Structures are given as C-alpha cells and as structure tokens.
Amino acid sequence: MILRQIWAVYKRELGLYFRSPIAYAVAFALLLLFGLIFSSNVSQLNNRAPADNLNFIPSLLTFLMFLVGPLMTMRLLAEENREGTIELLMTLPMSETAFIVGKFFAVWTYYSVVLGLTLVYYLVLTTIGVPDHGRALGVYLGAWLYGGTVLAVTMIWSAITEDQIVAAFLGAATVLVLYLADLAAQFVNNLSFTENPEFITGLANGIRELGLTAHYNSTMFVGVIRAEDIAYFIFMIIAALFITTRIVETRRWRA
C-alpha cells in the first residue's frame, strides 16, 4: 500500500518538475556552464583524456549544490503550505512518509537526469583518450549521493516555512555549513589554548565527519568508494526525511 502511495506522489511531482520553466532553466544554465568549461579544457588536450578533465563536472556541481539544491526543493512543500493544499492532500488516505518520500524521489530523479546528461562529456573523452573509468565511477556515484543528501536536507526548510525564498535561503545556509565543516574542523584542530589536545582533536574529527566534503572530496572524488561514506550519505538522507515527515505530521495535527 505505501509503495503505491509513494508512486502516486512521485508521478505527480515528477510531472510538475518537467513542466516547470524553473526546472528547465536550472538544468540549461548548469549544462551550459559545464559545456563551456569542458570545451575550454578539451581544447588544451593533446590526444589524451586525463581523469581531471572529467571530474571538474561533478565537483563543480557538488559545490554549486548549496545554491542549486535549495532552488530545486524550495517549492516542494513551501508552496503547498502557502496555498493550503498540503492540508487538503493530508486528508487523503495517505501516510506522511509516503508523501515526503514520493516528493523526495521525484526531485532526486530530476537531479539524476541533470547529472546523467553530463555523461555526454565523458563519452567525448573516450573518443580522444582513455579516461580513468574507476575514478569516474567514484566521482559520479559520490555526486549522486551528495546531491541526494543536499536535496533531503533542504526539504526540511521547505516543510517549515510557507515562503519559498526563505526556504531557499535557509536551505543554502545549512548546506554551506555542512560544506564548510572541514574548514571548521581545521580551525578547531589549530586551537592551542586548551590543556586537553586529545579533546580538541576528537572534536575536530567529529566536526569533519559530520560535513559533506569529508565523505566526497578526499575519497569518492579520487575514485575511492568506502562503505562508511555511502552509509553517511544514506543516513543523512533518511534522517532528513524523518525530520521533514515529523514536521508535516505536526502541521497535520494542528490542522
């Protein structure tokens, strides 16, 4: 039953994405940017295709996700909160979990399509050289999970507020904090006023592990696929969706 509910929400939401001018504008802008940078890189190659000429695409996308992710999710729940349609939808025989999961998979599918379209550049590289296939797999798998995590986290703010702009701003701020966690960890690790350096080291490591870049830039980006990194992204997605579901449940009770 719940799978049928998820599928119904997924189809509805995915249809809205592919009828949305904003969705096409975001995809076009990203692909145009990647195309221009890729063309510049390829023009400098001499019959070879090093992995670095492919990896800039997912790495740039993961950096831009602190802006793009909130744009993708800001209307998912905020718009329905503002128009009051979420209360109407919640009167249907549908669980909050199915409602949230269906919406999430729809936006993740849209992101996956955009990411998948960049594989055309990888095909171009195979015609002029031999790119590192193993590294490419790690890069794209990491970018896919990274994107899913960002989308799940930013959905929380879309559920909290009725204003799409506010949801986008707060979502971007949250993702930026997670993105800069590695820098924060380095700052904490350099603190010298404490008499307990082991505590500082442990705190710095904890902050680093909570961040996004520690599980992508130093591992998957270089072709190293670790189970703990995959587990981190999956945990973050599940945790964010759980929080979003609880928020929607609270709204339903108040209604």
What pLDDT digit, counting tens, does each position of 95-112 carry?
Answer: 889 999 999 999 999 999
Kindly write down the DSSP assignment for every residue of 109-164, as one continuous string.
Answer: HHHHHHHHHTHHHHHHHHHHS---HHHHHHHHHHHHHHHHHHHHHHHHHHHH-S-H
Please check the confidence at residue 209 and state whether its pLDDT lies above 90.
Answer: no
Domain total of the chain: 1
Give yes or no for residue 44 having a pLDDT over 70: no
Domain extent at residue 217: 2-254
Q: Is the pLDDT of residue 53 over 60?
A: no
Specify the pLDDT at position 188.
Answer: 76
Global pTM exceeds 0.85: yes
Higher-scoring residue by pLDDT: 24, 191:
24
pLDDT over 80 at 56, yes or no: no
Query: If you average pLDDT over residues 160-189, what whole number do you get?
Result: 88
Report whether pLDDT(138) > 90. Answer: no
pLDDT digits (tens, 9 = 90+) for 59-98: 777 788 888 899 899 888 887 777 666 666 666 677 889 9
The residue among 52, 57, 23 whose CA lies nearest residue 37 is 57
> Which residue type is seen at 109?
T
Instruction: Grade residue 255 by pLDDT with cuts at 50, 70 and 90.
Output: low
From residue 189, how far is each of 194, 195, 200, 206, 210 by CA, in Å?
Answer: 11, 13, 6, 11, 15
pLDDT of residue 253: 72
pLDDT given for residue 189 in this prediction:
73
**Cβ contact 105:17 at 8 Å:** no
* Helix pair 96-117, 21-42: axis angle to 10 deg: 30
Helix (H, G, I), strand (E, B) or coil at 255: coil
Chain segment 234-243, per-residue pLDDT in tens: 999 999 999 9
Question: Are 153 and 70 a contacting pair, CB within 8 Å?
Answer: no
The pLDDT value given to residue 60: 77
pLDDT bin (cut points 50, 70, 90) of residue 194 is low
